[in-house]
Structure 1
Amino acid sequence: MSTAVRSVQHQILGYTDEVTAVVKSLTDPDGCGALIIGAAGIGKTTMMNTALARLDKETPVLRFRGSETLRDRDLGILEILLSQSGSATTVGAGAALSAIGRALSMRYSDSVPIVLIDNANLVDATSLSVLTQLAVAGRTKLLIAAESIRPPIDLATSLWLSGGLIRVDLSGLDEATVAALAETSGSRPFEERSVTRLHAQTGGNPLLLSHVLFNHDHLRTTDRILWNIDPELRPVLEMVAMTGAVHYETLLQLCSADGLDSLVDAGIIRMSRGRHAAVKIVEPVIAAALKSQVRPSHSLSLWKGLSDVVDIDSMDGPALFGYLSWGLSLGFDQPADKILAAVAWANREGNYSGAAELADCSREHSDELLLETVRAQQGSGNIRAARRAFDSILDRVEQRWTEMSPELLSRAATMDMRLTDPREPDRLRIGWLREHLDASSDRGRFDVTIARFDLKGGRFAEAIERAERVYRDHSCLTRHRLRACAVLGTASVLTGNVETGLKFIEQAELMFGLPGMTSLEREDSAPQFFIARYTAGDWDRARAALSWTEARTWKNVSPMLSGFVGALIDLRTGHPARALAVLEKITTTREDIGYVGINAAMDFARALLGDAVPKESPRRSSQPPVGDDYSYWVEFESSLFQLQTLALTKPDEAADRLYTLGVTARSTGAATLAASAWLEATCLGHRAALVELGGAAAEIDGRPGRLAGIVAAAMTDGSPSALIEAGRGASEYGAVVLCSALAKLAQSRAVDAHDQQAAKDARILIGNSLRAIRFSASGPRLPAVLSDLERQLVDGIMAGRSSQELGAMQHLSARTIEWHLSRIYRRLHVANRRELREVIASWEDRP
């Protein structure tokens, strides 16, 4: 029986996103390299070698590896390099830095070498300090692998905190993959353990799994699988591994149908359905193991054997892409039209790095392939290369645009928008082509892309007009109408038509499941699904938006993007500890995130938790947006977080700036965003913001409009009871921080009015809010905030014991017990034993 499991490409030898991030860091002229953290056996070395294999072959690499022997010897790993430079190995750190710097300059005068340090936890601190200083000076790039950030790795960690290094944390296999490997092993230890227990015992670590499953046998799972394969079928599997996919009809010319069926039954390969069914290896780890064992001479023999029977005219998709990539890597020229088809397929699938590599290997320079190269480089984040290629496109358009197809011109115009800052529409260079597009598919492509461009630039009226034109035109392609529907939904929510906007989003989500969608639909629409629901206060569906998209496209959403949007929701719903834990792990940034937003969110989370935000705290470097990475929504959210942080220390200044932020947002038509800023300013006592908030509440529908109306009415009324009701409304909305602010204001006014009941209700509301903020699911729990004695007293209160009984048990007076209880009350934001029991009971009920 075969076992269907989720791809482990990201956990074992693939690590696609992580490898791409490392390659980008090593090629970034302003970066220092990458720090890779993971347990032993997790695949750090394999990942580093994979990343280096993607670099220019001329890039010099110096390899070092730590060991127990070298750890206690100053400059231990640099001894050979020092000797080669003519220096003694007993020199100090400063002399070693100078000597090695001179040696590297002489040896690599025209390039910057990469210094690979494996097993870095076993490297002496002096060596690591010297290499780190060389990286800071731009003399080297660092590629460091370590099991933890304990000393001496903390020397490199400082570079990460300052934005010089990126940090990549590798995790183990998931339970589904552990189950598949365990079942394949047929080992007795697995039969005696559940998958969950096995996963918990090993943490998904492949090395530990091999020890558990094979009783410390050094034979790997992959070897066991491959050794059981019929020798006559192994070349077939090697061909599939080298290409990634081969058509079933092609393989039938190389082996029997029964042989392929036996591989399917063994769970080694799977076949797609339909015409030209493709055969793929189920587990990437098996494919990687096969590829690593194929020598160059054997690779040439395999390719020739496959090329003798393949029908290239019938090939498409992954089979065509893999076949052409393999052939070009061996020096065999391939048909230009097939290269274009393969690159276009890779771009549609979001495999931008693969598309760029295939295009670079080709000797073709057609207009169509050059445009696909622009798309691949832009999708990979290599904006400089994309712009260079696009400049060539522009030259050709200016010289002979009348000879080009309307589709090519339309696509060229859309790439112009994707390479231009959305705040500067005047810098678009070939927008004039719109007048020469006659086909609805070409006009739709142009109009929906510029609608997205306008949305990101904060020109909401223009975005709505253009997007609606595409959405209402049923002669436009479905995928263009989907993107238009998503833009319409987000723009409508931001401008106050929340309920209408959410209907557009629901419609776009329905369209998302239709055939024919490409990577552009995923990249353009998925963020809109989140932004619309987040702004509308639909927290659960906002959190699920990216996962929902991934499930319907079989694409992997960036964990960084998923983590960031989840952290935003946690901040808005009163879980700063959980948000901060996620934000501190984000090491890369992509479209619609930006380090400015990450830094602002982190500062606000720290401030809510009572942590001071240092003026010169280590921060991730915030580079200006490149291409169309700028987003008005991200800029607004970042400003809002910054001013909310300021409000905790300088409320008057923050109130004025929040009011101005709202006015600016209102001038763009973003009424919902403006109301969120005025709402914060109103709670800080800003009268003009209160007036504006009341007017905006009448224009905005949905949950944001109702919340704005409740708060505006309560602040206008000013009574404690009205403010308490507004606080409860904010709590129901999920705005826990706002609820706390309203409750504090209500308590103050209730005390002034000698309204004991209102003061009590406000105090309870404050306590509930502060506990939600300070003691969220991933924040500090009861054992972390109370001492052993205090926890024993809480247990006694829960058991119904009096202060005298507790004093007798602890050998303390009843008065001392009451003093300790008062400290507990203050720390947990409760007033008496009843409230304490309610709080502890509610915590114990949590899963």
Structure 2
Amino acid sequence: MDLAGRPMARTATREDRTASVPPLSAQLLPQVQSAAAAAGDALAAGKSVVISGAAGTGKSAVLARVLGQLSGEYSVLRLRGAASLSEKPFGGLFWLLSELPPETLSNPVYVLQFVRRVLEEKAAGGRLVLAIEHAEDLDSVSIAILLQLCRGGCAQMLATVRNVAACPEDFVHWWAGDPVHREDLIPLRPSGTRLLLEGMAGAPVSSRLLMEVQARSLGNPRLAALFFEEQLLARTVLKRRGIWVWTGSVSYAGTLAERVDSETGTLGSAERLAVETLALTGGLPLEVLLRLADPAAVERLEESALVEASGQPRALRLKDPLLAEAAAALVPHGRAAEIRARIASRSASREDIAAPSGAFGAAPGTGGREGQLLGLLPGEPRFMAVLRAARELAACGQWLEAIRSASMCLDTVLINPAAPGLQRSVLSELFHIFLSCGELRLAASLLEHTDSFLSGMEILGSNDLCEGMVQVLGGRADRALDYLQRALVQLDQEETPELAQLAATAAAYACVLLKDRRAGLDYLDVAAVAGKIRAAEDSTGAAADLIRCFSGLCAARGMAGDPDTVTVPSGGCASLPAESAGLQDQRSGRSCTSAGAKQTVARLPVLAAAALQGCSGAAEMLREEVRGCSGTAADMYLDLARGLLESDVPCMLSAAETATVLGHFLIAYEAAGGAARRAREQSDRQGLRAARRIENASYRMLLAANSVTDRLLELSEFERELALGAAAGRSSSHLGTALHLSPRTIDWHLGRIFQKLRVSGRAELRECLKTERQQT
């Protein structure tokens, strides 16, 4: 990674910084909005409020938002704690008590009466709110007086606190015991940081850029905004095709350099040497650091908030990853060489130096992965055996057993945190196992786990790519294309042709589902540029399997990059080429159904899509391929094949229900539609109702525009009024009276409305609206 320090990056002017991005306070993050709303409700209910959180998490933004929304009945007195006044009695109220003779300050009762009288005069009959920033820096005497005013009902407190434990004891007891509303602002997860960055940049950001920012900020909104703003100004992040991407270069000029100066500028020379040593090495065992720096200076650093200790033997590193990397980048070359020479002269071995943490640290190589796992996870020989077994079982179609083993591995990795690079490797493997077994819900759940890591984590090269593949395999093409476009731009920047080929082929399939043939062909051309899709015998690995899968899915629905390999008959369903579908050509004399044949992720989804499109022989091949497989997805494919071959409505309904559970919404929609047609032909009214229910539910999942909320907007005002009234529980008689229509006419209109909204009736309409409101 290139590090651009002071000499290499231009320093932005004040005008540049003002015009580049909005201030952080303007970025109203969801947690800020939620905390402000809850705090405002608590004040209205007569409660005091304490907003706690580390510096930069948005406490001041919450405070400002709450105060800005207070009505005219409130009177606000603003106070601010300061470390310089924390040891002085009445330091927090000196401006208020300046009129009192000094001798009266020794009488707390008199002081309390005076403060109450002054504040009541300032409130002028309004409800008094004491807005206090940094309450932990107020002296104990001032806190005691302010708390007494709150306990006596004279005022309510709205306070921000960085660390409750650092507050005066009286404040801690009040905070814990009295009816005080508390709002804790925690660091942002990657999904929250994405909202912040996209709000600042005004455009989507790639998952790689997101994770690089997240790893340095650890979810601190202020640090994330600070780092991202510096990269925007230094142009070390680029906007490609409307998406901001990570380039690998980093600038630590401007405000980041100023931050390093402010954090370390007051340190003595001995402490600065220790800090620079930790920054350059990424962390050191304590005994090694004591050989390189003054022990007294190291002890003073331990007492500060700059360093943290962890592990056995005890190791020290700078607590803030962004500060650590910035400090390392800004150490002058000569001084950095001198420090490294000191380390070498004191015989500090490579094993003494801790690996840097975060996404920008060194990730373990794949060659030594098993040995690293053996040393990091308890019961490791068994863990490796389970992981290997899961991989082999998935490849052989034993999906039930593979899922059990993979889920066990996932629990082990999440419960026992290991090195970030190691977790990334294992989670990537498990993600591909879930995809291979057709478990899209589990794959999506695993991606959600990556959002729970405070430093962020990318798997399989790109979380955008992974999320896009899960969405498009489930048939949710519009959502998938958004993720895949981000992935493609970042992967092009990183020059990773195999993953770029995978992303382009998946994007082509998304365009096929969206009926955008021209865009689909363009993406297939991009995939061809990234590298021709090789035959199954010549290509192995997760990416190769998935490329064949998406290529086959495109062919199954009538589109392929090479017109010589796919013919589209008048019926509109493509004849599947053996290579692109990942199948064996039966005319070659080789069987694709032998007991020893390994199943891959490429085969069954393609056959299922072809069978649902009416391709001749696809259903028979699907039934043959899935025999011998186990697991929920295997049951789904087998029921689908039987239902299509035998016109068996219950089998097709079973396949549709299972597909919904697994996250295959397109299969559920098409299978339910086929079941509905067959049920109608067979006069199976019960089967028809069940099929319509599943078809409608899966239809709403396919596109964002298919939601009930969006489709309500397509109705006329009259129809929308009827629909919302029915969802609210009003009877047809009640609705008819208001509109001067008979109940029968109302029922006729509602029937047409329910068909447009793809719901079965009032109850389902009400439930859909409730669920969609909760999701937004």
One of 662, 669, 679 as aligned partner of 2:597: 669
In the other structure, the counterpart of 2:576 is 657
Contact preservation (8 Å) 2:469, 2:506? yes
Change (3 A) 1:567 1:766: same
SS in 1 for 2:519: coil
Computed over aligned residues only, the root mean square deviation of the Cα atoms, in angstroms, reads: 5.8
Contact preservation (8 Å) 1:774, 1:780? no
SS in 2 for 1:233: helix
Deviation at 1:670, TM superposition (A): 3.4
Is 1:286 the counterpart of 2:339? The answer is no
In the other structure, the counterpart of 2:682 is 753
Is 1:497 the counterpart of 2:398? The answer is yes
SS in 1 for 2:464: helix
Paired AA for residue 54 in structure 2: A
One of 692, 697, 701 as aligned partner of 1:768: 697
How many angstroms apart in 1 are the aligned matches of 2:707 and 2:318? 39
How many angstroms apart in 1 are the aligned matches of 2:748 and 2:621? 48
5 Å-filtered alignment, 1:424-443, equals none
Is 1:594 the counterpart of 2:465? The answer is no
Contact preservation (8 Å) 1:550, 1:557? no
In the other structure, the counterpart of 1:705 is 634
Deviation at 1:756, TM superposition (A): 3.5
In the other structure, the counterpart of 1:262 is 300
Is 1:242 the counterpart of 2:280? The answer is yes
Change (3 A) 1:813 1:546: closer
Contact preservation (8 Å) 2:363, 2:421? no
Deviation at 1:748, TM superposition (A): 1.8
SS in 2 for 1:569: helix
In the other structure, the counterpart of 1:637 is 549
Contact preservation (8 Å) 2:555, 2:576? yes
Is 1:318 the counterpart of 2:353? The answer is yes
Paired AA for residue 462 in structure 2: L
Change (3 A) 1:753 1:654: same
How many angstroms apart in 1 are the aligned matches of 2:351 and 2:747? 78
Paired AA for residue 233 in structure 1: E
Number of aligned residue pairs: 551
In the other structure, the counterpart of 2:150 is none
SS in 2 for 1:528: helix
Q: Which runs of 5+ in 1 are unaligned?
A: 1-19, 24-46, 54-60, 69-117, 123-145, 149-169, 211-216, 323-344, 353-374, 380-410, 415-440, 446-470, 472-477
CA distances 1:72-109 after superposition (whole Å, capped 9, x unpaired): xxxxxxxxxxxxxxxxxxxxxxxxxxxxxxxxxxxxxx
Change (3 A) 1:679 1:592: farther
Deviation at 1:700, TM superposition (A): 1.0
Paired AA for residue 632 in structure 1: A
Contact preservation (8 Å) 2:574, 2:615? yes
CA distances 1:211-234 after superposition (whole Å, capped 9, x unpaired): xxxxxx999765554355455422
How many angstroms apart in 2 are the aligned matches of 1:585 and 1:513? 27
CA distances 1:768-799 after superposition (whole Å, capped 9, x unpaired): 11012234999975676667765444322223
Is 1:682 the counterpart of 2:682? The answer is no
Contact preservation (8 Å) 2:504, 2:526? yes
In the other structure, the counterpart of 1:830 is 759
How many angstroms apart in 2 are the aligned matches of 1:787 and 1:265? 68
Contact preservation (8 Å) 2:728, 2:766? no
How many angstroms apart in 2 are the aligned matches of 1:706 and 1:632? 25
In the other structure, the counterpart of 1:337 is none
CA distances 1:628-659 after superposition (whole Å, capped 9, x unpaired): 98843122222243235538998955463178
CA distances 1:283-317 after superposition (whole Å, capped 9, x unpaired): 1332345446544555566556x359x52254525
CA distances 1:469-500 after superposition (whole Å, capped 9, x unpaired): xx9xxxxxx99997786455334323222234
How many angstroms apart in 2 are the aligned matches of 1:775 and 1:554? 30
One of 54, 60, 64 as aligned partner of 1:179: 54
Change (3 A) 1:256 1:792: farther
5 Å-filtered alignment, 1:346-495, equals 350-351=362-363, 486=387, 488-495=389-396
How many angstroms apart in 2 are the aligned matches of 1:235 and 1:828? 68
How many angstroms apart in 2 are the aligned matches of 1:811 and 1:266? 76
In the other structure, the counterpart of 2:71 is none
Deviation at 1:804, TM superposition (A): 7.9
Deviation at 1:826, TM superposition (A): 4.1
How many angstroms apart in 1 are the aligned matches of 2:650 and 2:413? 46
Change (3 A) 1:795 1:554: closer
Contact preservation (8 Å) 1:479, 1:516? no
CA distances 1:396-416 after superposition (whole Å, capped 9, x unpaired): xxxxxxxxxxxxxxx8xx9xx
Contact preservation (8 Å) 2:58, 2:185? no
Paired AA for residue 682 in structure 1: A
Paired AA for residue 351 in structure 2: D
How many angstroms apart in 2 are the aligned matches of 1:513 and 1:836? 39
How many angstroms apart in 2 are the aligned matches of 1:769 and 1:520? 37
TM-score normalized with structure 1 length? 0.52
CA distances 1:602-644 after superposition (whole Å, capped 9, x unpaired): 3444554566653665785641289998843122222243235
Change (3 A) 1:259 1:704: same
How many angstroms apart in 1 are the aligned matches of 2:6 and 2:331? 19
CA distances 1:419-465 after superposition (whole Å, capped 9, x unpaired): xxxxxxxxxxxxxxxxxxxxxx9xx99xxxxxxxxxxxxxxxxxxxx
How many angstroms apart in 2 are the aligned matches of 1:256 and 1:650? 81
Deviation at 1:820, TM superposition (A): 7.5
Paired AA for residue 393 in structure 2: S
Is 1:578 the counterpart of 2:479? The answer is yes
Deviation at 1:536, TM superposition (A): 1.7
Contact preservation (8 Å) 1:727, 1:738? yes
Contact preservation (8 Å) 1:825, 1:832? yes
In the other structure, the counterpart of 1:726 is 655
Contact preservation (8 Å) 1:479, 1:517? no
SS in 1 for 2:693: helix
SS in 2 for 1:271: strand
CA distances 1:701-756 after superposition (whole Å, capped 9, x unpaired): 12232222222222233143443333223333432211211221122223333443
How many angstroms apart in 1 are the aligned matches of 2:631 and 2:441? 16
Contact preservation (8 Å) 1:490, 1:501? yes
Paired AA for residue 638 in structure 1: F
Contact preservation (8 Å) 1:512, 1:552? no
Contact preservation (8 Å) 2:699, 2:706? no
Change (3 A) 1:650 1:640: same
Contact preservation (8 Å) 1:247, 1:278? yes
Contact preservation (8 Å) 1:496, 1:699? yes
Is 1:542 the counterpart of 2:443? The answer is yes
SS in 2 for 1:646: coil
Paired AA for residue 567 in structure 1: G
TM-score normalized with structure 2 length? 0.56
Contact preservation (8 Å) 1:247, 1:315? no
In the other structure, the counterpart of 1:743 is 672
Contact preservation (8 Å) 1:603, 1:642? yes
Paired AA for residue 280 in structure 1: R
Contact preservation (8 Å) 1:740, 1:765? yes
Change (3 A) 1:808 1:608: farther
Q: Which runs of 5+ in 2 are unaligned?
A: 33-50, 61-80, 83-131, 136-158, 161-182, 198-220, 228-254, 534-538, 561-567, 586-591
Does 763-772 or 705-714 show the bigger shift?
Answer: 705-714
How many angstroms apart in 2 are the aligned matches of 1:778 and 1:597? 29
Deviation at 1:253, TM superposition (A): 4.6
How many angstroms apart in 1 are the aligned matches of 2:715 and 2:7? 50
Paired AA for residue 312 in structure 1: S
How many angstroms apart in 1 are the aligned matches of 2:262 and 2:13? 31
Question: Sequence identity of aligned pairs in percent?
Answer: 18
Paired AA for residue 531 in structure 2: P
SS in 1 for 2:486: coil
Contact preservation (8 Å) 1:579, 1:605? yes
Change (3 A) 1:292 1:490: closer
